[in-house]
Copies of this chain bind each other. A is one copy, B any other.
Amino acid sequence: MTALTREAPRTVLHKVDPCGSCGAREASVCRGVGDEFLDRLASIVASRTLDPHELIVAEGDAATSYFNITDGSAKVYKLLPDGRQQIVGFLFTGDFVGLAVRDTYAYTVEAMTRLKLCRFGRGDLERLLGEFPHMEHLLRQMASDELAVAQEQMLALGRKTARERVAGFLIQLSRRAERLGQAPNPVQLPMTRADIADYLGLTLETVSRTLTLLKSAGLIAVDRQTVYVSRKADLIEIAEGEA
């Protein structure tokens, strides 16, 4: 579900933009997906635009739709009754919503920016996947990748210190940017400190303190939403928990 942390090369549903408004088709050459699938996909899709803080799906709702984010970013979180919140992933342009789905959504997806998306009826997409086994395979790969990422995050949440989690988060963002062909170094933080905290299982104060700590140690320079990584190797070492 989360693209932020995805390590794998992007797969078809990430590349394809089947909404009429934007005919990006470069995915058709990617991994052997044919035009036929894309045509069929386009026929079952509806697009929409959301404002920040609007919900794409809400925890507990009947899971009748899958989505593809075509522009903007969102957060995926779970809530406890008293308001405690755990962000289980961030979604960015190109990401798919619907990998971890039962009969109801087990999480809420909320737009962080103004956001465009495509909606697929669940039944429609599943039916289409039945006709294109290769797509089924890709979806399994994506779910597997997400699972590996989730396990990595469990390690962080269960066993890593605040410093290690924050360092790891910065490295994740840097690698993600690199994977998308952007510059890996000035890392952009598209989310607030509170969101970072809810992702890392910390408080926003601890995130802020830890960033200044890493700054004081000369590993990074922080400027609002931008982080310059000056000693990436050291940052990685911290993130991996080396003594």
Contacts and interface: CB of A to CB of B under 8 A. Distances in A.
Interface stretch (A67-75, A77-85, A172-180, A207-215): A77-85
A159 interface: yes
B148 A146 contact: no
Contacts of A140: 136, 139-140, 143
A140 B143 CA distance: 7
B160 A157 contact: no
A99 B85 CA distance: 28
Given A140-B139, A147-B99, A157 B201 contact: yes
Report how many copies the assembly holds.
Answer: 2
Interface stretch (A12-20, A46-54, A100-108, A187-195): A100-108
Contacts of A150: 147, 150-151, 154
A26 B224 CA distance: 60
Interface residues of A, number: 47
Contacts of A240: 80-81
B81 A242 contact: yes
Interface string A150-167: 111111011110000000
Given A88-B155, A151-B107, A144 B100 contact: yes
B241 A144 contact: no
Given A86-B155, A101-B148, 7 more contacts: A78-B151, A81-B240, A82-B242, A136-B140, A143-B143, A150-B151, A157-B158
30 contacts: A1-B147, A78-B152, A80-B159, A81-B240, A82-B241, A82-B242, A84-B160, A85-B159, A86-B154, A86-B158, A88-B154, A99-B144, A100-B144, A100-B147, A100-B151, A101-B148, A102-B145, A106-B148, A130-B133, A130-B137, A133-B136, A136-B137, A136-B140, A139-B140, A140-B140, A140-B143, A143-B143, A143-B147, A150-B150, A157-B158
